[in-house]
Amino acid sequence: MSSRGKAVIDSRFSLQIPDTFVASKRTATLGTLYVAGNYPRFTVVSVTAWPLTKLLADDAVAQTLPGLPLPQPRKAALPGSSLSELGSPMEIGRLLLRARDREASSGAVQSELLDADLQQASLRWSFDTPLPVSDPDALEKERGVRRLIRRTAARSIIGEVPSAAGGTESAIISVWASALQQDWEKGLGLELQECVSSFSWTATS
């Protein structure tokens, strides 16, 4: 873990974030668990927990054409399930990216998966998301670019979370760190990748 930044210690996870980041108060046990950022710079780190059964079911529905019967979602939600059961690293990345886009924009935005690598039950992956720009000419005068791209680095694992029915259930636990592409490429990306690497899920069933 880098000596830079400050430690975040939660009952479920630990994380190292930059000193300039401010955390937003969250009490959720599922969905978005934690958010912090340097908001004037559009730089954000978050932690999410998506129940695996619901994630797979929602993805099956989202990819079904109107008028066709719903397909059976893939089954990989039993305790002890591994990410590799969900497919190749790129397939897992696309699955999670579709869920991310649905959550962030109801599917109006389509992000581009850049890479994905599965090692020791942990998926490291990254993607770019185009942001809407109302006035490209004004943006070019202000920032020297005509479009905005948000770059995100993420790490995902399978962990256990409280179940609505009692007990626990398997979930995809992810840490996300993002910034505007221009800032990412000027050195901020290295700092955010260190943040992602520092993440540890400590909750136990």
Q: What is the DSSP string of 123-171?
A: EEEEEEEEE--S-HHHHHHHHS-SSEEEEEEEEEEEEEEE-TTSSEEEE
How far is it, in rounded angstroms, from Cα 144 to Cα 154?
28
- The overall average pLDDT reported for the chain is 87
Sign of CA dihedral 188, 13, 83, 37: negative
- Residue 173, number of CB atoms within 10 A of its CB: 22
Fold entry, domain 6-64+74-201: Protein Transport Mog1p; Chain A (3.40.1000)
Q: What is the DSSP string of 60-111?
A: HHHTSPTTSPPPPPP---STT--GGGG-SHHHHHHHHHHHHHHHHHTTSS--
List phi, psi (to 5°) of 150: -100, 125
For residue 104, the model assigns a pLDDT of 84
- 3-state SS, residue 196: helix
Compute CA distances 115 → 1, 87, 93, 139, whole Å. Answer: 23, 15, 8, 28
**Whether residue 155 has pLDDT greater than 90:** yes
For residue 2, the model assigns a pLDDT of 46
Q: Give the mean pLDDT of 173-184.
A: 96
What are residue 3's DSSP bridge partners? none
Q: Give the mean pLDDT of 23-47.
A: 94
Kindly indicate the confidence band of residue 78, based on its pLDDT and cuts at 50, 70 and 90.
Answer: low
